[in-house]
Amino acid sequence: MISATDALALPTAQLTAEETEAANKLEAEIEVHVLAKMERKGIDFESKETRPNVIAEINQRLKAAGFDPQIQFVVDQHPLNKAIQRCIGFRLSMWPSDESYRAAARAKLM
């Protein structure tokens, strides 16, 4: 089986320029939200972004920054047929990782 590292190097696993731009913009929006709303428990954030590759990129960037993200897709149901749904965005809940909490506590001691 191909390793995940090698699979991520495949051309089809690369973000397009538009996806990269969208991820950069979304990351900046999340950062502004964190600076304004961060609590000890973390934050909640909503977005209208629906592209899976952009959301996956944001998920990895948040993990690299020391957060534990949880993403839940927001779906809209058709008014006449509840079985028909479409993704209209996502909800992000994120909190500092255990290591981030420990590092913040150590920084307070210095």
- Provide the pLDDT for residue 108: 86
Digit-coded pLDDT (tens) for 11-62: 999 999 999 999 999 999 999 999 999 999 999 999 999 999 999 999 999 9
Average model confidence (pLDDT) for the chain?
95
- Provide the pLDDT for residue 83: 85
**What is the arithmetic mean of pLDDT over 85-94?**
94
Residue type, 28: A
The pTM for the full model equals: 0.89
Buried b (16+ CB within 10 A) or exposed e, 56-76: ebbbebbeebebebebeeeee
Q: What percentage of the chain has pLDDT greater than the value 70? A: 100
